[in-house]
Amino acid sequence: MVILLIVLALGIGLLIFMFSEAHRTYVEEKTIHLSRFPENQQPLRLFFISDIHKRTVSSKLLEKIPDEVDFVIIGGDLLEGGVPLLRARQNIQKLKTLGPVYFVWGNNDYEVSQMQLKQMLKDEGVIALKNEHVFAISKYGTTCHFAGVDDLSEGQINLKRAVSSIEPEQLTILLSHNPDVIYYVDEESKVDLILSGHTHGGQIRLFNFGMYELGGLKEKRKIPLFVSNGYGTTSLPLRLQARAQTHYITLKRKE
């Protein structure tokens, strides 16, 4: 009986810990050096958040951002089926206080009315990228192109169209919810960095094993790929060894 109570207490304690990990408010600081970053220009500061799902962007999170933000990137799964559109709107309104917001579709974003979602994004001034790119310039004059592709599983990806007409020497940051976009990218794609989410870092890992590998900066096919563990969760609001995270990313020139 005593052993049963101990096991039960440990199980409850683990669930509480996993729930806490899923609702962590954490901003990871990361500096990424890129060989084609424009010479004699100021670093670019990005706030990257992906896989918000059911969560609320809290004021506490915004207070943890260490410095100015040039651009805010939402890497897909802004919401999912059953999440009120008003919550997504309020999350965007908070993120807008940091800087201009860019968005790409994730698979769960297709679980809601596309007409209503697109209208809300437009009303809030969000730059939604679906197989297209835009030229961006920070208030300090640093320039880049953001190219965004549709979700790999629910949308219709067209990477060639997304990067068309971008000059080879221009800095290009590819936004894709699913990191498997890396297998669509080649030297002709003119991509300097990919920002992705989707995997949740495996969300629940045991002895460092999970359905997906942990997020972080990787290099695949000679292209830097940054994958976020994500801010929210899907299915179960639990995490283990793959804590919730957002990112303050500084881009600089590689010397």
pLDDT in tens, the chain (255 residues): 767 666 565 667 678 877 888 898 899 999 999 988 988 899 999 999 999 999 999 999 999 999 999 999 999 999 999 999 999 999 999 999 999 999 999 999 999 999 999 999 999 999 999 999 999 999 999 999 999 999 999 999 999 999 988 887 889 999 999 999 999 998 777 899 999 999 999 898 888 877 889 889 998 878 899 999 999 998 889 888 889 999 999 999 987
Write the secondary structure of the chain as one string of H (helix), E (strand) and C (coil): CHHHHHHHHHHHHHHHHHHHHHCCCCEEEEEEEECCCCCCCCCEEEEEECCCCCCCCCHHHHHCCCCCCCEEEECCCCCCCCCCHHHHHHHHHHHHCCCCEEECCCHHHHHCCHHHHHHHHHHCCCEECCCEEEEEECCCCCEEEEEECCCCCCCCCCHHHHHCCCCCCCCEEEECCCHHHHHHCCHHHCCCEEEECCCHHHCECECCECCCCCCEEEEECCEEEEECCCCCCCCCCCCECCCCCEEEEEEEECC
The residue extents of the domains of the chain are: 2-253
The CATH fold of domain 2-253: Purple Acid Phosphatase; chain A, domain 2 (3.60.21)
